[in-house]
Structure 1
Amino acid sequence: MGMTPSTLYRNGRVYSPADPRATAVLVRDGRIAWLGEAGDEPSADRVVDLAGSLVTPAFVDAHVHATSTGMALLGLDLSGVSSAAEVLRRVSEFAAGLPGDAVVIGHGWDESGWPVREPPSAPELDRAAGGRRVYLSQASVHSAVVSTALLAVADPSLLGWNARGWLRQDAHHAVREVALGSLSVSARREAQTAALRRAASLGIAAVHECGGPGTSSEEDFTSVLALGGRGLPEVYGYWGELGAAGKARELGAVGAGGDLYADGALGSQTAHLRVRYVDADTCGHGYLTADQVAGHLVDCTRLGVQGGFHAIGDRAIATVLAGFGLAAAQVGVDAIREARHRVEHVEIVDKQLIAGLVSFGVVASMQPAFDRLWGGEHGMYAQRLGAARSMAANPIGALAGVGVSLAFGSDSPVTPLDPWGTVRAAMLHHNPVYRVGVRTAFAAHTRGGWRAVRRDEDGVLSPGAPATFAVWDAAGVSGGLPALLSSQAEEPEPALPVCRRTVLRGEVIFDGEQA
């Protein structure tokens, strides 16, 4: 088979440690064959004039849910609604265009900013949807309000069941499985494709799909894995089922983790905390014991599969790290470290817990947009935790400062796919102590995502490396990267860069000129 045509990208600004002055890149057979200054470039089969645009490594989103993201893009998006009444109005309008036997699926409502912090009840949803079944996930995706027909699916004895239809924990998982299972194969594929195309249009060349019982079905999980890389971003899957390392590998996953829940979420008051919530008489809920964590990690390590857990609250993270210690006693600390096991979210941690992450070589998969949307002294976290704990949440700078491996993502549709917005959120943490610089944040959202799936050669532009990059229109560049912050406190932040092209291993997966 002959070689693919080579392409020279010239007359741009290339962010590369190999040659900080580079203005051109030659791509051949999926790799960077040369980079340097224009005028010195070798010949190529094709030439693309960058017209001064910026070229950087493409982004990796380290935590997504493709089907739910696509459904939010194509269907009923409830982010930004300001009251239960507005939810009902939006449901009524959306349901009017659906068949009578359809399930109305929506996402994104967040009651924490409403005048009355209570979502619609099941009977109210029945009336708004004209008797259709309704499933509306809260922004955290750890609770949902459902119609009467779907409420009947969950046994009232399940944890988190509520007669008004606002379900959490096991009751929510049971109903979510039924609601998402109502999607046809074609509708699911359409949603997944929409999500991946959206990612590519934002300069994202790879995503980490997090599935598992209570989150998605095996069919849903394998179908999105099958789409990856076929003119779309690559998809690396994490199957979150306890003790299922072998099964994860059979499903095509790179890890048995992701949405393997050690606890819930702060928004639904189910994240497992050492100190009670301010606005509820609970410390949340822990789903795993240290022994269970250890058994899972030992299986993963011995099979050569990454393990990992969803853990948000400090008590849940402490349980997970205790499990790491038990596992290390069986297989050795070096084996645990070499496996690059992961913890998703890592929101409430202290110095001792951070030290545990360092000791075991844990990858912290974090979402800076959580702080942007819900952090600070007056946001949802402050309602749940109090101002002091809220300002200590998501301590990105503290983790980066001691060498914890970071991989940034969105948890889409919990927060939108928004890579440069994510980088800026890490730079503008509500607590200045936990802010990081643009290079650290960018690396966590690019090379950090590749390292998290053990692809160490990806995520940097240098000769011989994979030709995976994005081309940007950026209003200003400082130190090789876009200027994301204003120079004066009273000035608005600069516009975020706009993606013109995304290239994955030499293949163009998004072209803004043809979009």
Structure 2
Amino acid sequence: MAVTDGVVVWIGQDSVGHALHPDAEVIELDGAFVAPAFVDAHVHATSAGLLLTGLDLTKSSSVDELLEKVRAAEGPLVWGHGWDETRWPENRPPTRAEIDEAAQGKTVYLSRIDVHSALVSSDLITDEARTADGFSADGHLSRAAHHLVRGAAKAAITPEQREAAQLTFLRHAASKGIASVHECAGPDISGEDDLRELLAHTEGPEVVAYWGAHELPGVPVRGLAGDHFVDGAIGSRTAALTEPYADAATSGALYLDGRQIADHLIKCTELGVQAGFHVIGDAGMAAVIEGFALAEKALGTPALASARHRLEHVEMVSAEQAQQLAGWGVIASVQPLFDAEWGGPTGMYVQRLGDERGVGLNPFSRLAAAGVALALGSDTPVTAIDPWAAVKAAVHHKTEGHGISPRAAFTAHTRGGWRAAGVMDGLTGTLQPGAPATYAVWETGDLVVAGSDARVQRWSTDPRSGVPGLPDLTGPAPVCVRTVLNGRTIYERK
């Protein structure tokens, strides 16, 4: 492959390439393979960076272990993330009294794995939070109360800490073969200053910014989309359901109704920007369907569909709804590692929703079969940035029949991410003459190919290749050697 000025200009036989480009700088790959770089279609850069530089609770196995980590953490602010009480023997989070005791005077903010609720020390709780929806006198906070205390915790992060977190995240993403990330920012998530500083960084993957609110911020964004909340999350019992949760007397929270959704879609379509929403529960999806139907009546189908509005997560969706979304040109930004983490007959979804509903989430094949365009992402720090693991999870879904092919999954995590951000040139996200030279180089081990008399050969694990003996994504993932964005190397393994 030959690259000039950041563009692929030729692909073909090695000897021909050397003849056509005799003065080129040559990089020998020694058996590694090249593929289009990944795009992570849903990230929260600063929060993900704080997980990498701060208190990682994703592996905590009990209440006592979490509390011990808080005691050992340095202050004055302890920012942690990733606890999941559904995996603990106590099957409960710590109380506020337990957090205060472990804090020993430090300010503590610990977001749940889904970032829709948090454990906090008492000094973070304002009078406004005490009267807000989702407040608990001695437990974790959710809904509006959580947004208020999260804002207070964010204000305690120094500019130096924020910059370090953002740069750590961008470098980490590049090391995973990712050349672009979609930052899903918003007033209740990160704030304008955070987004402005993130966009100012020139190293690492390209950042595509979304703002989850009704009004445009003072920062350039691709759309008023991303985490514009229609509802919450299953784990925090805030995703809006048509029937109550199996393990609690609540049906979650609906933050936007059909009319509000329609107004947002109409406004964004007329402004020429993408609209989008975070939606997880079936009642949330019903509101989204109602909103799109109302917007279609006002705008007409061609105008609405051509805007390529997007939905984040889309965890509970019927076959009929999937067909409707496809007709409206909707892009579904989905996270396969959600199923890997919480799907299956014994996972958190079943705990929260019961046996029948709990195994029906994240039906990627249903969306794809209906013609809904898919873009894969991590929602990091909710799940790890690990694109090969996401491709594997999309293929090997824990509910039979919900997975998609390796080719479809790989395409959704590469070209699909560019399309979701409005890049529709037919070249970006591919490797062919005229395409941006945005790719990753991957190293694989020696693999024994079936039917080859046990000869050891080095095979590409590019899941699109169709090579006989191609691994089925159940073995070790390829290791990134180099990540290139528009011809510029943004990561090289030392």
Task: Report TM bin, short chain.
Answer: over 0.9
Q: Partners of 1:427 and 1:474 in 2: how far apart? A: 20
Give the match's secondary structure for 1:40. helix
What are the equivalent positions in structure 2 for 1:166-245 lying under 5 Å apart?
166-227=140-201, 230-242=202-214, 244=215
Q: Partners of 1:498 and 1:205 in 2: how far apart? A: 15
Match of 1:509 in 2: 490
Determine if the alignment matches structure 1 residue 32 to structure 2 residue 4.
no
From 358, 371, 377, the counterpart of 2:339: 371
Q: Partners of 2:162 and 2:86 in 1: how far apart? A: 30
Match of 2:359 in 1: 391
Determine if the alignment matches structure 1 residue 481 to structure 2 residue 484.
no
Match of 1:499 in 2: 480
Deviation of 1:401 (Å): 1.5
Deviation of 1:481 (Å): 2.8
CA 1:84–1:483: 2 relative to 1, 3 Å = farther
Q: Partners of 2:461 and 2:85 in 1: how far apart? A: 41
From 400, 412, 425, the counterpart of 2:380: 412
Q: Partners of 1:66 and 1:271 in 2: how far apart? A: 23
Letter in 1 for 2:437: A
Give the match's secondary structure for 2:323. helix
CA 1:406–1:397: 2 relative to 1, 3 Å = same
Deviation of 1:306 (Å): 0.3
Q: Deviations over 1:277-300 (max 9, x none)?
A: 100111111000111111111110
Deviation of 1:130 (Å): 1.2
Match of 1:292 in 2: 260
Give the match's secondary structure for 2:130. coil
Match of 1:348 in 2: 316
Deviation of 1:482 (Å): 8.2
Q: Deviations over 1:403-455 (max 9, x none)?
A: 11000000000000000000000111011211111100000000000000111
Q: Percent identity?
A: 47
Determine if the alignment matches structure 1 residue 135 to structure 2 residue 109.
yes
Deviation of 1:153 (Å): 5.4
Match of 1:14 in 2: none
Contact 2:463 2:470 in 1 (8 A): no
Match of 1:17 in 2: none
Alignment length (residue pairs): 475
CA 1:448–1:153: 2 relative to 1, 3 Å = farther
Match of 2:36 in 1: 57
TM-score, normalised with respect to structure 1 = 0.90
From 204, 226, 229, the counterpart of 1:258: 226
Letter in 1 for 2:47: S
Letter in 1 for 2:492: D
Alpha-carbon RMSD across the aligned residues, in angstroms, is 1.9
Letter in 1 for 2:275: G
Q: Partners of 2:254 and 2:203 in 1: how far apart? A: 40
Q: Partners of 2:462 and 2:167 in 1: how far apart? A: 32
Q: Partners of 2:127 and 2:433 in 1: how far apart? A: 56
Contact 1:471 1:500 in 2 (8 A): yes
CA 1:480–1:78: 2 relative to 1, 3 Å = closer
Q: Deviations over 1:448-498 (max 9, x none)?
A: 0000011123100000100000000123546843899xx999x99310010
From 108, 116, 119, the counterpart of 1:145: 119
Contact 2:51 2:381 in 1 (8 A): yes
Can you give the 5+ residue segments of structure 1 that lack an aligned partner in the other structure?
A: 1-24
Contact 2:10 2:433 in 1 (8 A): yes
Q: Partners of 1:185 and 1:473 in 2: how far apart? A: 37
Moved more, 122-131 or 251-260: 122-131
From 84, 102, 112, the counterpart of 2:63: 84
Q: Partners of 1:431 and 1:241 in 2: how far apart? A: 34
Deviation of 1:157 (Å): 2.0
From 34, 39, 46, the counterpart of 2:25: 46
Match of 1:21 in 2: none
Deviation of 1:154 (Å): 4.3
Match of 1:70 in 2: 49
Match of 2:407 in 1: 439
Give the match's secondary structure for 2:41. strand
Contact 2:323 2:371 in 1 (8 A): no
Deviation of 1:170 (Å): 0.3
Give the match's secondary structure for 1:144. strand
CA 1:164–1:453: 2 relative to 1, 3 Å = same
Letter in 1 for 2:483: T
Q: Partners of 1:360 and 1:468 in 2: how far apart? A: 30
Q: Deviations over 1:131-188 (max 9, x none)?
A: 1110000000000010111123543221100011400000000111110121111210
Deviation of 1:53 (Å): 0.7
Match of 2:456 in 1: none
Match of 1:312 in 2: 280
Contact 1:482 1:497 in 2 (8 A): no
Q: Partners of 2:83 and 2:70 in 1: how far apart? A: 12
Letter in 1 for 2:431: L
Q: Partners of 1:411 and 1:161 in 2: how far apart? A: 25
Deviation of 1:374 (Å): 0.2
Letter in 2 for 1:56: A
TM-score, normalised with respect to structure 2 = 0.93
From 423, 436, 439, the counterpart of 1:455: 423
Contact 1:147 1:165 in 2 (8 A): no
Deviation of 1:214 (Å): 1.5
Letter in 1 for 2:295: A
Q: Partners of 2:11 and 2:154 in 1: how far apart? A: 47
